[in-house]
Amino acid sequence: MSGVRTLRAGIAAGLREFYVAPYRRTLARAQRDEEDLFLMVVLAEMLGVPNPVSYYTVELLPVMYDRFHDWHRRMGMDRSPLEHLSCC
């Protein structure tokens, strides 16, 4: 009985991998783009873009500072675009 369960679990895992694998890179890129947009919305006020929701996003700033270095590197900026925030 245990052998049948492990065989069934192995087949299910193989089928899941077969159907998910072609889309893994696309989904990861979409998630990264969504996170970049969210970071841009949170940091818009500091970048000089008027932000109508800055009152709601100000409490997210401490969380976003940790991801800021990766973001500005991905956007092609060698150094931080913010004068008062030097992460590199």
Domain ranges of the chain: 2-74
pLDDT digits over 54-67, tens only?
777 777 777 777 77
Q: pLDDT tens-digit profile of 23-80?
A: 989 999 999 999 888 888 877 777 777 877 777 777 777 777 777 777 778 877 777 7
**Tokens, residue 64:** 């976003």
The pLDDT, as a whole number, for residue 72 is 77
Q: Kindly report, residue by residue over 9-25, the tens digit of the pLDDT.
A: 999 999 998 988 889 89
Q: Give me 50's structure tokens.
A: 């008027």
The answer to whether the CB of 44 falls within 8 A of the CB of 51 is: yes
pLDDT of residue 13: 92
